[in-house]
């Protein structure tokens, strides 16, 4: 029995010794995986020996653009700080934890990105509601909703294309081409042509200005009836009839274009024996009518123009040649076409009686000889001197060429025939001369020249002194008169003929000098101006 117990005890002691030696004498070595294990904050090598609590090389992540440079762990729960770039197309942000840079589209809520708070700018609104007061639109990109007034351009909203309905138009803007109104709410401009009735637009009350007169004196544009004459405010001047006066120059593109159009309408320049569309003036060279100066009248865009062309200068005297030419002095050259516009004639009111007014042209309109010859004539058995007004060229020209050029059938109708005093009472009083020798019969004329006595009439506004430098008698010539050969003095004034013959010579007539005094002139001179006078009924 004792032997059995001793055996059991020995076995147990041996086991204890074995266990003791095992714990103290030989340690266990853990093994770990080659790959990395990781979580949100760190990485390690996990034990492969069954001791799961054992880890090797535990360390925090070291990130580069969102990925750990040690274990390649990709960070997931990013914390983006300030976004470095924001545009309409998206935003760019860097994670404050892992450094990852992300460029992404915005996530909008009513125009603002929920992530970077960027406010969308380039909206693409779809408008769901439009009224006269404004529109409501939703941006198709960011969802922003706006309600705002229209931005109008000529009545149409530039944003939603809404056309304004209830317009508030202001006053009419009026031009020759039409009238327009602008809505004060939307800026819409409505342009319309005038609706004329007798010269006045029935819509905007605009009175047409630049008339195009037909042969019946009615404007072809506005239907207005052309007045026979107009009068200035103080009733001292009347505008009546038309005559070529102001030259068309080359000063600007419009004038050059006008000249080109007129040249085209006139056709080829005239020549002796081949005038084309032109008419010869029939002027004299050494006593013989010679075709060397022509004219043509052209209608263009509602106005009349006269073209003048000459191949040689007009002679200073009709009977004998003279080497000085005032046309050239006035700037006009041969073989050149010049154009002059027909303009209303300005008349000075000399007298009024009943329903008639005595008118004198306020400018020198032309330049013509009094009579072409220095020779006496015999008519009905009587000697007629070159200074005889009744038989003069100037009287024929005034009541023929000038009358037909300046007036139409309607204005002619209010120019009455007048008894023109050509007796000795119209001549200077001088007992040393036989005034009756040169006086002639009174004439029945519609247009005439002033006499010596009328030129001194205080009632007509002149000084009763033929030697006075009378401002009222100083006159200047038109461009057209200068192109005819009018003499122009240094201050721009010129001489102009009276109808009265001198009392001492049979081939001279009185005229007004450029200084306002009275003088005389040879009847054959072509450089003395013409100042028509007439009575007008009104």
Examine the pLDDT at 489 and tell me if it is beyond 50.
yes
Reply yes or no on whether the pLDDT at 263 is more than 50.
yes
Tens-place pLDDT, residues 56-94: 989 988 888 889 999 988 888 887 777 878 888 888 888
Per residue in 132-180, pLDDT (tens digit) is 888 998 888 888 888 889 888 888 988 888 888 888 999 999 999 999 9
pLDDT at position 471 over 80: yes
**Span 392-421, pLDDT tens digits:** 999 999 999 999 999 999 999 999 999 999
Q: What angle do CA 412, 414, 419 make, to 5 degrees?
A: 90
For the cut 90, the answer to whether the pLDDT of residue 363 exceeds it is yes
**Residue among 159, 86, 167 at smallest CA distance from 124:** 159
Cβ atoms of 534 and 412 closer than 8 Å:
no
Residue 15: per-residue pLDDT: 54
Output the CA torsion sign for 208, 214, 216, 221. Answer: negative
Instruction: Extract the tokens encoding 535.
Output: 């009575």
Q: In what order do the strands lie in the sheet with 135-139?
A: 125-130, 135-139, 145-148
What lies within 8 Å, CB to CB, of 247 at 6+ separation is 338, 339, 340, 341, 479, 480, 483
β-strands 108-109, 101-104 pairing:
unpaired
In 3-state terms, the chain is what percent helix, strand and coil (to 5)? 15, 35, 50
Predicted confidence at residue 7, as pLDDT, reads 58
Mean pLDDT of 206-210: 92
For residue range 15-31, list pLDDT tens digits in order. 544 444 444 445 789 99
Q: For residues 153 and 187, what is the distance between their CA atoms, to the nearest angstrom?
A: 6
* 449 neighbors 499 (Cβ within 8 angstroms): yes
Contacts of residue 262, defined as CB under 8 A and 6 or more positions apart, other chains included, come to 248, 298, 300, 305, 307, 339
Every domain of the chain and the residues it spans:
44-121, 125-157, 230-537
Q: Is 212 exposed, middle or buried (0-12, 13-18, 19+ CB in 10 A)?
A: middle
Dihedral (Cα; 253, 256, 260, 263), 10-degree rounding: 160
pTM of the model: 0.68
Extended beta strands in 123-276, E state:
125-130, 135-139, 145-148, 152-153, 156-157, 173-175, 178-182, 189-192, 196-197, 200-201, 229-231, 237-247
Residue 282 to residues 310, 334, 394, 524, Cα–Cα distance (Å)? 12, 17, 14, 15
Mean pLDDT of all residues belonging to the chain: 90
pLDDT at 159: 85
The reported pLDDT for the residue numbered 175 is 94
Distance CA 13, CA 284 (A): 174
Q: Please report the pLDDT score of residue 336 as a whole number.
A: 97
Please tell me whether residue 425 adopts helix, strand or coil conformation. Answer: helix
Assess contact for 246 and 478: CB atoms under 8 A: yes
Distance CA 476, CA 495 (A): 9
Reading the block at residue 107, the tokens are 């996530």
Task: Round to whole Å and give the CA distance between 449 and 509.
Answer: 12
Which strand (E) or helix (H) includes residue 92?
Answer: strand 90-94
pLDDT digit string, tens, across residues 298-324: 999 889 999 999 999 999 999 876 778
432 against 523, higher pLDDT: 523
Radius of gyration of the chain (CA): 55
pLDDT score of 243 more than 70: yes
> Tell me, what's the pLDDT at 5?
58
Compute the average pLDDT of residues 257-284: 96
pLDDT for 17: 46
Q: With left for phi above 0 and alpha for psi between -120 and 50, is residue 238 left, alpha or beta?
A: beta
Calpha distance 111→358 (Å, rounded): 86
More confident residue, 179 or 210: 179
- Cβ-based burial of 512 (10 A; exposed 0-12, middle 13-18, buried ≥19): buried
Task: Give ∠ CA 193-194-199 in degrees, rounded to 5.
Answer: 150
pLDDT at position 18 is 46
When pLDDT is cut at 50, 70 and 90, the band that residue 9 belongs to is low
Strands in 248-392 per DSSP E: 279-280, 284-285, 288-289, 293-300, 303-310, 338-353, 356-361, 366-367, 377-379, 382-384
Average pLDDT of the segment spanning 32-42: 89
What does the pLDDT read at residue 116?
A: 81
Contacts of 484 (CB under 8 A, 6+ apart): 314, 327, 366, 367, 368, 526
Q: Is the pLDDT confidence value at 297 over 90?
A: yes
Q: What is the rounded average pLDDT of the residues 248-277?
A: 94
Q: What is the pLDDT of residue 137?
A: 87
Half-sphere exposure of 287 (CA within 13 A, CB side): 5
């Amino acid at each position: 029995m004792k032997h059995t117990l001793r055996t059991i005890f020995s076995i147990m002691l041996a086991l204890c010794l074995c266990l003791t030696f095992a714990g103290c004498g030989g340690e266990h070595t853990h093994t770990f995986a080659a790959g990395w294990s990781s979580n949100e904050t760190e990485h390690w090598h996990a034990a492969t020996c069954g001791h799961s609590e054992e880890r090797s090389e535990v360390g925090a992540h070291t990130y580069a653009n969102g990925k750990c440079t040690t274990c390649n762990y990709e960070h997931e729960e990013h914390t983006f700080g300030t976004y470095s770039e924001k545009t309409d197309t998206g935003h760019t942000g860097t994670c404050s934890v892992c450094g990852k840079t992300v460029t992404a589209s915005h996530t909008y809520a009513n125009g603002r990105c929920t992530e970077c708070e960027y406010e969308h700018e380039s909206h693409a609104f779809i408008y769901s509601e439009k009224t006269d007061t404004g529109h409501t639109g939703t941006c198709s990109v960011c969802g922003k909703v706006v309600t705002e007034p229209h931005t109008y351009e000529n009545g149409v909203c530039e944003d939603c294309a809404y056309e304004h309905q209830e317009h508030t138009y202001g006053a009419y803007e009026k031009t020759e081409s039409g009238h327009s109104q602008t809505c004060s709410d939307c800026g819409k401009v409505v342009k319309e042509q005038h609706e004329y009735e007798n010269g006045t637009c029935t819509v905007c009350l605009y009175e047409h200005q630049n008339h195009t007169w037909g042969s019946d004196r009615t404007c072809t544009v506005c239907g207005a009836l052309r007045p026979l004459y107009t009068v200035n405010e103080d009733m001292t001047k009347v505008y009546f009839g038309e005559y070529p006066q102001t030259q068309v120059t080359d000063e600007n593109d419009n004038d050059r274009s006008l000249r080109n159009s007129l040249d085209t309408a006139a056709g080829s320049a005239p020549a002796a024996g081949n005038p084309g569309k032109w008419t010869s003036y029939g002027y004299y060279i050494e006593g013989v009518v010679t075709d060397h100066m022509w004219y043509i009248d052209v209608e263009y865009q509602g106005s009349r123009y006269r073209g003048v062309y000459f191949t040689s200068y007009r002679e200073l005297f009709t009977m004998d040649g003279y080497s000085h030419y005032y046309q050239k002095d006035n700037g006009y050259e041969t073989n050149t076409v010049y154009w002059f516009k027909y303009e209303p004639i300005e008349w000075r009111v000399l007298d009024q009686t009943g329903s008639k007014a005595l008118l004198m042209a306020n400018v020198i309109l032309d330049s013509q000889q009094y009579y072409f010859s220095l020779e006496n004539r015999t008519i009905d058995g009587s000697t007629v001197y070159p200074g005889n007004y009744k038989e003069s060229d100037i009287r024929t020209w005034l009541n023929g060429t000038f009358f037909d050029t300046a007036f139409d059938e309607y204005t002619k109708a209010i120019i009455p025939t007048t008894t023109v005093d050509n007796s000795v009472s119209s001549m200077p009083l001088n007992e040393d001369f036989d005034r009756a020798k040169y006086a002639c019969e009174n004439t029945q004329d519609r247009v005439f020249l002033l006499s010596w006595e009328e030129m001194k009439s205080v009632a007509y506004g002149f000084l009763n002194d033929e030697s006075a430098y009378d401002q009222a008698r100083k006159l200047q010539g038109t461009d057209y008169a200068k192109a005819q050969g009018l003499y122009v003095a240094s201050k721009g004034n010129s001489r102009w003929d009276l109808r009265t013959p001198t009392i001492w010579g049979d081939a001279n007539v009185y005229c007004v000098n450029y200084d306002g005094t009275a003088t005389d002139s040879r009847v054959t001179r072509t450089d003395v101006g013409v100042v028509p006078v007439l009575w007008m009924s009104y």
